[in-house]
Structure formats: C-alpha cells, structure tokens
Structure 1
Amino acid sequence: MFRLKILLSFILSIPILVVNAQQNASISGFVTDSAGAITGASALLKGSKIGVTTNSEGYFQIKNVRPGSYTLLISYIGFKGISRNINVKEGQQLKLDFMLQSNLNDLEVIDIKGRTATTELKQSGFTVNAIDLKAFQNSSADLNMVLNRSTGVKVREAGGMGSDFNFTLNGLSGRQVRFFIDGIPMESFGNSFGLNNIPVNLAERIEVYKGVVPVELGADALGGAVNIITNQSAPKFLDASISYGSFNTVRAAVSGKYTDQKTGLYVNANAYHNYSDNNYLMRSNPKYDAAIKVVENGELVERDVRRFHSAYRSTAGQIGVGVTNKKWADRLELTVLYADTYKEIQTGATQDKVIGEVTNNERFFMPTIKYKKTNFLTRGLTATFFASTSIQRSHVPDTGNYVYTWSGKGRPEPISGELYGIKSIYHYRNTANLARANFSYEIDDNNSFNLNYNYSHFARRATEDLGIVKNNTFEEPNTIGKHVAGIAYQNNLLDKRLITSVFAKFYALNALVRNAVYFSQNQTYLRSDSKTSNNYFGYGAATRYRITNDFGIKASYEHAYRLQEGEELFGNGIDVTSNIALKPENSDNINVGGFYHFMLTEQHLFGLEASYFFRNAKDFIYFIPSGGVYSMYNNLAGAKINGVELEARYTYTNLLNFSVNGTYQNAVSRQRYEPNTSTPDATYGDRIPNQPWFYANANLEIGINDVWAKGNRLQLSLSSQFVNWFYLNWESRGSIESKNKIPTQLSHNAALSYSVAQGRYSIAVEVNNFTNELLYDNFRLQKPGRSAFMKLRYFIK
C-alpha cells in the first residue's frame, strides 16, 4: 500500500511542475449518438494534420493547439459528419460535445469499416463479452434473459419473475462473479436492482469479463465480472415502454435526461415497475419423479395445477441532478435511489415442499454522489470519484400453522413456521457504505497508468418480534469492511497492434461477528464476539496482438481472490452458524483466444471468436447442510476447470444477422481427503455436480427497412437454447439408478417488432418457450411453460 501511495504521488507531482508553462490551447469533448458514446470517431482540424479519435467513452482531446480560427470536423462511418467553426484563444481549454445523426445510406458498412465500443472491447486483451443492447430495446426481456444467450454464461432461475437465480460464468458461479452498474458494485443496490429486474431499456450495453477483471472495477471477483453500462452520454432523450402478458405480468419502464446546453445543468431519471402473479401451470411429470398430487374427494390424484402464493412485485425509481462541462468538473451528479419489493415464497429447495404464507417485503434507499474530471490537477490525468450510503429493510413473517399442498389449501398440523421449524417475524436492517476513487493517467498515446481504490462497509442487524428465537446473533450489528486497491500499466506497441496491460491488486478484510457460534473441544456449542482481519495480494496481465486489422490473438492471466460475504461469516441467526475461520476463495485464471472477421463482399460479414479457459480454484466456499442443530459454510480444497467456447456470426447488410455460440467446460474436484480427516475422498476427480457442462445458443434476426413508409422497420427475431443434462450429486456416490439428473433442455423463443419514424414508436409481440417444453434449470423446480407478451415503446432524442 505504501508503494501505491508513492507511485500516485509521483504521477501527480511531476506534471504539475510544468502545467503552467503550457501556453497552447486544447480542444476536447464527447461524441455520441442517440444510444451513447461512439468509439473511434474522428475529430480533425480542417486543412491540417492535427486530429484524434475518440476513446471507449466517446471522449477526444486535441492538445497543443495554437491560438486562431479553425473548422473542426467530426465524422464517423455510418453517421452524418459535423463541421463547426471555432475560435481558440491562448491557453484556452475549449470543450465541445457533438451528437451524430445516423446516415441511412451508409448503414450497411458500419460494422465493416468502423469499430463500435463493443467491438473494441471484444478485441482487447481481456476475454470479454460485449453485448450491445440496441437489438433488444423493443423486447420485454430483463438483463438476465439477454445474458443467458451469450457465450460462456448460464443463468439458472428457480421459477418465474423475481425468482432466485444462479449466474454461472466459465464454471464459476454465485458470489464468485461480481456485478456492477457503471463500475459501481451492485451489492450496494439491494435486491430490487438485480439482473432479473432491470429492463433492457435502462442500459446501453453489458460487459462480461471472464476470469480476469480490470483494476478499474475494483472487484474481489474469482470467476469474472458483469458491468452494466447505462446511457449517460446522450444530452437529451426519453425512453418509455410498457409490456403485458402471460401470468398477469406487467413491465413498465421510463428513462430520460434533459440537459441545458448553456449552463450544463441536467436532470436524469430512471424508473421501472415489474409485477407478475407467476401463476403458471405446474405440470405433473412422473417421468422426472416430479409428480404433482392433490387430494380430491378424499383421494390422492395426480394432475396439473396452477401455482399459487408466488406473486412478485418490484418498483424502483432513481433521479439525478448534475452539471457537466465545467472547468472544475466534466461531470458532478447527486442521485437518489428508492426501491420497494414484495415477494411471496412458494417452494423450498424443490417443488416437493410447498410454502403458502411466507413473504419477504424489502425497502431500499440510497443517495450517491459522482464526480469526474479530465486533466485533473495536470494534463492527461482523469479522476473519477463515487460515494454512497444505503439502508435496506426487510420484513419476513413466518408464522404458519398449516402444511400446504399443490391444491392451494392448508391442513392444520402441529408445525411452527414453514421455513425453519420455528415461528418468527424477522426485521432485517442492512446498511452499506461504499467509496471508490479511480485515477487514469495517460503519459502519451502509448503508455498509461490506472489506479483504483474501492472501500465497502456492510452491517447487518435483525430483530425478532415473537421472542421464540432465543439465539438471535444479529441483535447487535455484525460488520464487514473490505478494501480492494489495484494499479495497472498499459503499453501499446507496433502502432497499437500489440497492447499489453499488467496489474496488481490488494485485498483486505475486517469483520466483526457478534455472539459467534462455534463448536468447542468438549463438543459443545459456545458463543463469543469474534474479529477477523486479513490481507491478500493478486496480480495478472492481459495482452492482445492484432496480426491484421481483422485477425488477432489474445491471452490473459490473474491470480484472483473472492473475499467472504456476510452470511458466510455471520450465518443467518437461526439455523446457520457463523464460521470466523472461513478463508477467502482464490484461483489462478488463464484465458487464451482469438478473433477473426472477414468479408466476402461489402454486404457479407463473417465473425469468429474462440477461447480456451483454465481455472485452478482453491478454498472453495461451500454450504454444509445441517446434520444436527446448525448448518454452516466451510472451505473445500478446490477444483480445476478447463473448457472452450466458440461464437460465430454472419451479417448480411442490415437485413440478416445470425449467430451461434457454444460452451464446454470440465470442472473436477481436487479434494483428496474428507474435510479434517485422512480418509480419501471418493469424489476426487469427479465432475462437480449440479452444474451445466455443455450449453449452446442460436440467434437469428431478419429485418426489413422502409416497410410501408420510409424510416419504418419490421424485424423477426428467433432464438434457441440447448443445455445438456447434468447430475445433481457426485458421480461416485450411489448407483446409476439412484443418481438424480437435471434433464436436457431445448427451448425456443420468437419475437416480431415493428418500429416507425426512425424507431420513435414501436410495438412488439414475443412468445417465450413457444413449443411449451418442460424446463428445469434446477432439480425439480419447474420453470414457466409457453408465455406471450406485447410491448409498446416510445423513444425520442
């Protein structure tokens, strides 16, 4: 940490000595279209050779401009160019923003001759999916649905809207993958702002980093990270939509921004409302040992039933007020977020257990402040700061006296609560504080540094109304503090054909566990307050070599850590005990891949991306179910994971777009002995259970422009997904007949959309799982069958 401070001081101090000597002016600004930043746009002073291109944020800066009058030309293939006469004064730092309009006559060659932000990211040294969400703006999908179609990603949902989900990325899943919104950790945003809630209209693109994560995200991620990029660049727009469909499902979303160009003041707002009864048909499936039986006329009969007590609602709103393009700030913004969630819990780990009364009500409030400044203190240094504090309150009553069946009726039985065998009314209060600082220093066009620091503090407290629970470990707050710092150096060689980034990360954890339950040497449970504090170091590198403009290879490596979470250390206060001896997970992650794009003609574009990945993960954190009084989390020796993924794309002008991707992964246990014994573990070398190991997707889009009128577009979208069967439990335990499987899945979706007036108005109809397949992401937890939705959207810029 001391060395990081020295390096930062060095970066800041030396250029400051010469900044006052710079008398020449500079011209800078952002180039955007209606959807956000444009990467690779040209900014040129007419009649000279002075010019630059925009970076991934659409930002450009022309340095050392002599005083005088100029014509500034802004251009990008596929868009109408802009020319502006400017007068530059001595020492002036002139800032100008530009929004380009689409040039329909040039659209057919955009993907061939220009590189968008998503293309540039895919062709970086990191193994990353960059998903442009423009193609999904007219669908009623949430972000989980979009991610589930991308290479290397599998999202497993327990049911319909709002259900629990598990996110798997190249064989690592759950908390091993971190999630961000504009680089800010989503763990601070509450459950209402989860991937299964956020509509596609609120985001511009999604970045999925696999195994190796850049330091600017500040993540303790073991398996990778997902970063959602919202529309921040467009100065004025309004996007409103509403959809309605099966199971009384409603999705409404609105986002907008207004900027006063004279003062730089702006207001932006995002809001959405999701609701569903989730009363889809549960089909009895004896073949899968998932028969549904109900009592009718005193007899137990098998039949299909509608789900009940499964409703879900989430409502969220965010409003921000800020200022842009000032001498002291490129952007300063104050934002307030409020969210409210209601969820009816219906099943346990499988659909065999039916829950009829338990609910979870959550309210979330978070104010934030954001600041960004280019040429911060000195030229070439960009600083961004973020800080937030949040309060999340949850109310979970579990006071049932009845045992429920799929008939929807309860029968009186001597039970105490439905979840834990004890009646309770819990009120949880989670508080989180987050601070982030990032400094990016561009020495010259080929050398740059990035320094990032991320601090988070989490506290959990709970009260219980009934007083039956005698051992509430959350009567006093349990706390976790995390520090993640990183520094990276990037070098470009051979006219930027070779890009290399090396980085190092520092992790620190401080936790206080109140009344920690532990098993003593005399075989009794004891309690005491416990503290834990540890530091760890990670490191890595990423490189890309572009052999030709369209063909390149890349490789990346990281020794990564994932620090412990609150529930893993604290327990849940009821039947999951704390484990202060729990160690963080760590892994050595390697990616090797390449990309190739080629044209048969200017109308036919082909793309191919392939990669190999290897993960050597140690100290896996896993859950040990109760064999007596308490369950707990513990460390597993680890696993080795290797696999390949492939994506192929074909585009014919703006008429047809087809892509197919597939992922194969082999994750095997490396635990030689049973925990804390010298007994050989029979599962050593087995494939890790309850995890998909082969899955594939296919997507087809056919669109026709100027249907019935100029500027209108009719588009048909088809998608299919295949998931091979996989075991629920270890292969070496039990006979072939007794081994439970999650069956092979093949599902198909279709959507038809029509937009008019260059996309200002649109209507879309879509059908998910139109063949009405029986789908199971998890063992004996049936997903919805066929469902249909209609969406109306209005967009103006």
Structure 2
Amino acid sequence: MKLLLFISILFTATVTYGQFSINGKVLDDKKKPVPFATVQVKPTDKNTRTDNNGLFNVDNLSKGNYEIHFRCVGFDEKTVKVNVTKNTSINVVMSQATTELEQVTILGKSEATLLREAAYAVEVVETEGFKNSTVDASQLLGRISGVNIRQDGGLGSNFSLSLNGLSGNRIRTFINGIPMDYFGTSLTLNNFPVNQIEGIEVYKGAVPIHLSSDALGGAVNIVTSTKPIDYVDASYSYGNFNTHRASLNAQVHDNKTGFTARVKSFLNHSDNDYKIDVHLLDFESGKLADEPTEVRRFHDAYNSKMVWAEAGVMGKKFADELMFGVLYSENYKEIQQNPYATGTPAFPVGEAFRQEDKLIYNFTYHKKDLFTQGLNVNSYFVYVDSEENSVDVSPNRYDWFGNYEADVHPTTGEMGRKSDFTLNQKNLLGNVNGEYVLTNNHSVAVNYSLNKLTLQGADKHQPQNNTQFSNPNDVLKQVVGASYTYSAFNDKLSTIVFGKQYFYKLFAVQSNYQGTESSDFNYDNDALGYGLAATYKLRTIQFKASYEKAYRFPESYELFGDGLNVIPNQELLPEESDNLNLGLRWSTPPRRNRIQAELNGFVRNTKNYIRFEPRMNRSYYVNDPKVLAQGIDLTVNYLFNNVFNLSLAGTYLNLRNNDPESAVYKDRLPNEPYLFSNLTMSYKQVLPSDQTLTFTTISRYVHDFYLAWPSLAASESKSVIPSQLTHNIDVTYTLKDGRYNLSLLCTNIFDAKVYDNLNQQKPGRAFSIKARYFIQN
C-alpha cells in the first residue's frame, strides 16, 4: 500500500515553481533546420533534442541565467546565454564543422557522452561508423574493456557474453529495454545486423531500474533508431563458408498526422564448413591418431530470418511514440557435434538439428511531460508464442569425412537417447516506467515489470520429456523498483539511490529418467535488492562509485534443460551478489589531439552461483555456494584531428571458488578466461565529392586458461585452452555522403588456430564483402 501511495503521489504531484520555458529553432548556415541536435541547459541537468524541423522546447525552468549548449555531429558546438524571466524563444545558427567527426570511435556522439557521464558505470558504443561493416553486435561489444565474447564456432553457434567477472544469464541483454533472450535464438547479439542499431549501452555493475530484470551484475541495451524520418536501409554481404547476410529496414513518417510505419528484417545463412584439426579414430584398434588431420565440417549449416513490422504515431500531444508491432522469426541449426563436448569428438553428428519459430506481438508507449511538466512515462508489453523442435533420432554413425555406417546404434540417437522433442513456450512481458522531475536537482522514478512464462511439450521417443512437459510448467517474475536522483554543485555531483523488490514463483513437473514417475515442484521467493551510484565531475576527471545488492532467478533453460543435451534441475537456487564498482575517467579538453582514459575496478561476491557443468548429453546447471570475482579493466582512446583513432582495452579478472568447504577452494573457475585485451586502430580519409575511405584493424588477445578446475586437472596439456591472438582488417568506402557503401573484411588475417569455449576450434581466416544503400528524407 505504501508503494501504491508513493506512485499515486508521484503521478499527481505538481510544483509551484519553475513555470517558464525556453523554446526555439536550430538552423544551419544555409538556414535549413538541424534535426536531432542535442540541447543541454546548464547549470541544470535538463537536455532534449531538436525534432525533424529543428524545433526544441525545455520546460519547468525557474528565473535565472542559463547557458544552453547545442551539439550535433558535423557541426561546431554552439553556446547561447539566456536570462529567463518569462517564456523565452530563441533562434540558433550552427556552423558546419570544417572536419567531420569520427564515426567509429567509442567516444561517441554527444548523447552518448552525456550518458557515459551519468552516475552508473556505463560504456556507450555509437554504431554509425560500423553500419557499413559486416560485423555484428557481439563483435562490437568485444572491443569494450571488461567485455569478453565467446563463440563455439561460426555464424549461429552458441555464444556467451562475460562482463566484469559475470557471464551468461547474469548479464541481461535488451532491445530498446525489452529483454532480448525471450526473442529466441534467431535474434541474438551474434546475428543481429549492426545497421539496425543506433547505439549499444553497456552497464557494468549496478543496472538502472528502467532495465527492470533480475540482472545480477550488468546489462547490455541495444537501441534501435526511432527518429521520425523517412528512410530506406538495405544491405547484403557474402563471405567464406557460403555465408550470406541480408538486411532491409525502412520507415515512413508523416509530419502532419504523426503516422509512422516501419519494418526491420534480416536473413542469415552459413554452411559453416570451415576446416578443423581432428585426431581420427582407428575403428579396428579403437585408438586415436597421434597427429591431427585437417577435415571440413559438413553438418553445421545455419539459417535465421526475421521480419518485424510496426505502425503507430509519433510526435503527438498524447504520445511521443505509440507503436503496435508484429515480429516473426525462424531459426534452423544443424548440429555437427555435441555442443558441450570437450574439444572435437571422434564421432561427428551428421543428422541431428534444432529449429525454432516465434511469433511476437509488441506495444510501446513513450511520452514526456504527461499530464504535467516533468512527468515522463515509458512502457511496453510483449507477447511471445514460440515453438522449438530438437531432433536426434538417426541410428547412423558418421566419420569426419561425411561417410556413415547405417543402423550402428538402432535404439539411440547420435548424441544419446533418441529424441524428437517439441516445446511450446508462451511468454508475457510488460514494463511501465515513470519518472518525475521535482526540481532541477531532484527527480524520482518508479518501475514495474512482469515476466510470465508457460512451457508445455511432447517427445515422440523420450518418456522423460513427455512426462515432464505433458502439463504446463510456469515461471512468474515480477520486479517493482524505485529510485531517487540528486545533483548538486552545477551537476558536478550526481547520486542515485534505488531499490528493487523481486517476486518469483515456480511450478514445475519433475520426472525420473525413465519417465515413469513424476511429482510437482513449487518454489516461491521474494527478495529485496538495493543500491547506490554516485559520480563527481571535475574539468577533466570524473570519479564514479556504485554498489548493488542484486538477485537473479534461474532461467527456464537452466531449470528445464533443452530436452536433448541438458538435463533439468528445477531445484536451482537464485543467485545473490554484492557488487561494487569504482571508476575513474579522464579526458583532455576537446582539441586537435584528444586522449580519453577510463579505469574501473570491480568486486562481485556471489552466493549460489549458477554454473554450467558440461557432461556431454547429461550436462546440467549447478549451484556453487560462494564465488568471488575481483578485477580491473582499462580503456584508453587517442583521437587525432578526427581522422585517426587508436583504442586499447584490457581486462584482468580473478574469478575463484570462495567456499572454504569445497575441494576446489580458491581455484579459478573452469572454462573462464581471466586476461584479455584488444587494440583497435582506425584511419579515415575524406575524398572529394562526398567520398570517404576508412581503414580499421582490430587485434584481440586472450591468455590461456584452464578448461577444468586447476587443482583437479589430470594433465596440464589437456586441461588448458591455449592463448589466442587474432587480427582483423576492415576497409570501408562510402559515396554520396553515405548513400552508397562498400566494405571488405578479413577476419583472422594470419589464419591462426583458435580454440575457445570447451576447447572447441573456431574458424580460420575468412573474407567477406558488404554493400549497403541508405537514403533518408
């Protein structure tokens, strides 16, 4: 009741001061409107952007003197001083910059800089310069300090994201604030086309309440473009291993009525027939060859497709954005080997596969100054109807040359028990966020999120799956959050205090291995999370600190398995973590040569750490009672004349078992890299007639790490995943100021043999070419 009363007061309160506004229009040297320029009012923390016609409005200002800063890519910054004694209108002319701003650097645009200067430990990647490249979202994230992207193989293979000591489901990913994992395997970070992305926000440690999910130690939010403009963005790329990636995005917007319709779509395919080294099996002696033989993967093809259509209105008095949408996606993946095998097994898989179909309905609503000045509301609702099919029924035994012997194991599949498992999932997601600006220095926010999941399925061959999923299994998560933000000393000091109340309910059916016995399992758990984030800014230095008591409840995949390789464990306990971040950010004043550096230290003290235990076709998730992560990450950026950019990012992670009663006490966690870094260099040459040529190189290093618990490793040579050093080069040519674009990419230039997750070999050198057409009105 107290919370409901607080929300009621928040949504109905009004203030009696700050009744004035500043509005106006921003033009360029040719008296044309400058859309989407950032408008920041100092000494307040108020900021906005100009609309498609260059118009802006800032409300709820008290009498006094203000400095208004105008920033936009391609223009010199403009500052206007205004004395406010009444509602004030101004016109501003911005001069075009003599040299274009760097498009690729992580320094980002002005909006990104403002977000990075917030109290949360957050990195922002602007994607404008990458939209012509063949990279995907996961490859961009891998360039950030503290972030490690791991992938089992080629396009569409299993991958995981690690952020400052925590990985997997502990790090939540979002699309425009909507949890991304519920969109399915056809829409993930490693296949999401980068030209659909406006920016990527990476929160290290404490997570804002508007990203209201049970993230344990960080979050990644992909922001797609919602500008009220007409545009068409089409691209196609082709590369080695018969890899095709196509994308088509378009939007129409009517300024008068506000009607907006948009479509986002992509199609991905790869044979993934890259070469690997295999110790072949001698069927007569039963021994593996001493020397490896190079073979080509033959059953690892991948297909995914998505169409996402939305329609609604933008820029109206009752809604800044009100959109309804439907998304359809498909995903098909052949299985070349058991995904949880250590290294490369002697017997490949030749017929097993997985596929997934999803139909998703979404509704979004955003409005600033709803009912009263300073009240901002953002909300979404999503319904997901999904069907997944996992099939492993072949009795044939394959070798690594694609040959097979028929009916060798007639009672089993290629990886274990025969299975033709269909799982239906229905998911309802909702989020409502309200923020109210009390004064220039005080604001409050509340948030509510809902996540209800129902699973039901059947298996044509495996009784355990039939029994476990014959009746619906239900998972219900709810999070209620509230925060208070205070700023002082002309915004030099900013502090955020927040709390999150978690509600969790689980109903599951437990079945024995034979599927002959079953029992109901119920689990309820409520938890209170809380935290604090603060920052203090000087002229060139910014200090940051944050703490969060965070919780994460098991995901359906961890609880119920996949019906094929991962067995269920419905008795997993929720994770609980104390997370501390301390950061320092330094930058030189804007000039011809500019340097920025950021140093971040972190501690993650986690109870009931959920860890994956790979056991071939009997893999499962377990709780480790105590795990402690300590580490440091560093990023240094050097920008010369907005033409040459050099970025170095490195991370050291000390992730260890911290349970004194464990046999592996103080051991590093297995299969987890602890030292990695990357170096990115970019040079851009502006050519006549609106042409640009950009060269980018990326070098990445991962130190060797243990595959198993170090103290239990039987043989060091077989228990260490070797170090990795790879180099990529990307050349991009743009014509007609970005309308026509062509990109050439070479990954793993020196064809290094690279092994990663569970010591599985990754692709060697590969080339790709991408053409992109973009036009806007």
Is the shorter-chain TM-score for this pair beyond 0.5, marking a shared fold? yes
**Deviation (angstroms), 1:169:** 0.9
Query: Quick one: structure 1 residues 152 and 277, their matched pair in 2 at CA, closer, same or farther if it must change by over 3 Å?
Result: same
In the alignment, which of 647, 652, 671 is matched to residue 640 of structure 2? Answer: 652
**Deviation (angstroms), 1:41:** 2.7
- Contact residue 355 and residue 418 of structure 1 kept, 8 A: no
- Contact residue 115 and residue 124 of structure 2 kept, 8 A: yes
Equivalence for 1:303: 293
In the alignment, which of 593, 596, 600 is matched to residue 607 of structure 1? Answer: 596
Equivalence for 1:661: 649
In the alignment, which of 235, 238, 242 is matched to residue 244 of structure 1? Answer: 238
Equivalence for 1:677: none
Q: One-letter code of the match for 2:207?
A: V
Q: One-letter code of the match for 2:10?
A: I
Counterparts of 1:312-351 in structure 2, within 5 Å, are: 312-348=302-338, 349-350=340-341, 351=344
**Deviation (angstroms), 1:580:** 4.3
Query: Quick one: structure 1 residues 597 and 531, their matched pair in 2 at CA, closer, same or farther if it must change by over 3 Å?
Result: same
- Contact residue 199 and residue 224 of structure 2 kept, 8 A: yes
Equivalence for 1:564: 554
- Contact residue 71 and residue 77 of structure 2 kept, 8 A: no
Query: Quick one: structure 1 residues 147 and 81, their matched pair in 2 at CA, closer, same or farther if it must change by over 3 Å?
Result: closer
- Contact residue 561 and residue 620 of structure 2 kept, 8 A: yes
What secondary structure is seen at the aligned counterpart in 2 of 1:758? coil
| Separation in structure 2 between the aligned mates of residue 746 and residue 694 of structure 1, nearest angstrom | 12
In the alignment, which of 580, 587, 609 is matched to residue 577 of structure 2? Answer: 587
| Separation in structure 2 between the aligned mates of residue 229 and residue 263 of structure 1, nearest angstrom | 25
Query: Quick one: structure 1 residues 358 and 112, their matched pair in 2 at CA, closer, same or farther if it must change by over 3 Å?
Result: closer
Q: One-letter code of the match for 1:340?
A: E
| Separation in structure 1 between the aligned mates of residue 135 and residue 25 of structure 2, nearest angstrom | 34
Report percent identity of matched pairs. 33
Question: Does residue 542 of structure 1 match 2:533?
Answer: yes
Deviations 1:262-300 (A, max 9, x none): 11101111111111110011134xxxxxx345889x998
In the alignment, which of 669, 672, 691 is matched to residue 688 of structure 1? Answer: 669
- Contact residue 48 and residue 58 of structure 2 kept, 8 A: no
**Deviation (angstroms), 1:496:** 0.1
- Contact residue 147 and residue 163 of structure 2 kept, 8 A: yes
| Separation in structure 2 between the aligned mates of residue 624 and residue 775 of structure 1, nearest angstrom | 23
**Deviation (angstroms), 1:614:** 0.6
Question: Does residue 148 of structure 1 match 2:127?
Answer: no
Equivalence for 2:488: 493
**Deviation (angstroms), 1:135:** 2.1
Counterparts of 1:687-726 in structure 2, within 5 Å, are: 687-706=668-687, 709-726=688-705
Q: One-letter code of the match for 1:537?
A: L
Moved more, 226-235 or 110-119: 110-119
Deviations 1:17-57 (A, max 9, x none): x79xx99777599999x9x995743589xxxx999742799
| Separation in structure 1 between the aligned mates of residue 126 and residue 166 of structure 2, nearest angstrom | 24
Q: One-letter code of the match for 2:266?
A: Y
| Separation in structure 2 between the aligned mates of residue 99 and residue 199 of structure 1, nearest angstrom | 37
Q: One-letter code of the match for 1:722?
A: Y
| Separation in structure 2 between the aligned mates of residue 417 and residue 99 of structure 1, nearest angstrom | 74
**Deviation (angstroms), 1:704:** 0.6
Query: Quick one: structure 1 residues 551 and 40, their matched pair in 2 at CA, closer, same or farther if it must change by over 3 Å?
Result: farther
Deviations 1:721-776 (A, max 9, x none): 00000011111114554651110000000011111111111111110001000011
| Separation in structure 1 between the aligned mates of residue 166 and residue 45 of structure 2, nearest angstrom | 44
| Separation in structure 2 between the aligned mates of residue 109 and residue 248 of structure 1, nearest angstrom | 33
In the alignment, which of 738, 757, 760 is matched to residue 778 of structure 1? Answer: 757
Deviations 1:119-161 (A, max 9, x none): 2222222112211112211111111111112111111111000
**Deviation (angstroms), 1:325:** 1.9
Deviations 1:413-451 (A, max 9, x none): 124343552222111111110111000111122111111
- Contact residue 734 and residue 741 of structure 2 kept, 8 A: yes
**Deviation (angstroms), 1:467:** 6.5
Query: Quick one: structure 1 residues 342 and 735, their matched pair in 2 at CA, closer, same or farther if it must change by over 3 Å?
Result: closer
| Separation in structure 2 between the aligned mates of residue 113 and residue 423 of structure 1, nearest angstrom | 52
Q: One-letter code of the match for 2:631?
A: G
Equivalence for 2:421: 426
Equivalence for 1:678: none
**Deviation (angstroms), 1:462:** 1.0
Equivalence for 2:373: 379
| Separation in structure 2 between the aligned mates of residue 246 and residue 668 of structure 1, nearest angstrom | 39
- Structure 2 gap segments, 5+ residues each: 63-67, 79-85
- Contact residue 707 and residue 719 of structure 2 kept, 8 A: yes
Deviations 1:74-103 (A, max 9, x none): 9425545999xxxxxxx9999x9x999992
- Contact residue 45 and residue 441 of structure 2 kept, 8 A: no
**Deviation (angstroms), 1:581:** 3.6
- Contact residue 292 and residue 304 of structure 1 kept, 8 A: no
| Separation in structure 1 between the aligned mates of residue 718 and residue 621 of structure 2, nearest angstrom | 25
TM-score scaled by length of structure 2: 0.89
Deviations 1:450-473 (A, max 9, x none): 111110011111112347657531
Query: Quick one: structure 1 residues 494 and 468, their matched pair in 2 at CA, closer, same or farther if it must change by over 3 Å?
Result: closer
**Deviation (angstroms), 1:237:** 1.9
Question: Does residue 183 of structure 1 match 2:177?
Answer: yes
What secondary structure is seen at the aligned counterpart in 2 of 1:107? coil
Query: Quick one: structure 1 residues 53 and 397, their matched pair in 2 at CA, closer, same or farther if it must change by over 3 Å?
Result: closer
Query: Quick one: structure 1 residues 322 and 727, their matched pair in 2 at CA, closer, same or farther if it must change by over 3 Å?
Result: same
- Contact residue 362 and residue 392 of structure 1 kept, 8 A: yes
What secondary structure is seen at the aligned counterpart in 2 of 1:779? helix
| Separation in structure 2 between the aligned mates of residue 168 and residue 50 of structure 1, nearest angstrom | 36
**Deviation (angstroms), 1:656:** 0.3
Q: One-letter code of the match for 2:769?
A: M
| Separation in structure 2 between the aligned mates of residue 113 and residue 168 of structure 1, nearest angstrom | 22
| Separation in structure 2 between the aligned mates of residue 29 and residue 335 of structure 1, nearest angstrom | 33
**Deviation (angstroms), 1:569:** 2.8
**Deviation (angstroms), 1:196:** 1.1
In the alignment, which of 85, 100, 104 is matched to residue 107 of structure 1? Answer: 100
- Structure 1 gap segments, 5+ residues each: 67-72, 84-90, 285-290, 674-680
Query: Quick one: structure 1 residues 735 and 603, their matched pair in 2 at CA, closer, same or farther if it must change by over 3 Å?
Result: same
| Separation in structure 2 between the aligned mates of residue 309 and residue 112 of structure 1, nearest angstrom | 38
What secondary structure is seen at the aligned counterpart in 2 of 1:216? coil
Counterparts of 1:376-455 in structure 2, within 5 Å, are: 376-412=370-406, 413-418=408-413, 421-455=416-450
Counterparts of 1:211-250 in structure 2, within 5 Å, are: 211-250=205-244
Query: Quick one: structure 1 residues 265 and 785, their matched pair in 2 at CA, closer, same or farther if it must change by over 3 Å?
Result: same
**Deviation (angstroms), 1:12:** 2.0
- Contact residue 77 and residue 94 of structure 2 kept, 8 A: no
**Deviation (angstroms), 1:346:** 0.7
Equivalence for 2:726: 747
- Contact residue 77 and residue 114 of structure 1 kept, 8 A: no
Query: Quick one: structure 1 residues 55 and 218, their matched pair in 2 at CA, closer, same or farther if it must change by over 3 Å?
Result: farther
| Separation in structure 1 between the aligned mates of residue 361 and residue 702 of structure 2, nearest angstrom | 41
**Deviation (angstroms), 1:107:** 3.4
Query: Quick one: structure 1 residues 26 and 555, their matched pair in 2 at CA, closer, same or farther if it must change by over 3 Å?
Result: same
**Deviation (angstroms), 1:780:** 3.3
- Contact residue 26 and residue 64 of structure 1 kept, 8 A: no
Equivalence for 1:160: 154
Deviations 1:318-351 (A, max 9, x none): 1110101222211110011111111101111232
Q: One-letter code of the match for 1:584?
A: P
Equivalence for 1:733: 712
| Separation in structure 1 between the aligned mates of residue 172 and residue 774 of structure 2, nearest angstrom | 31
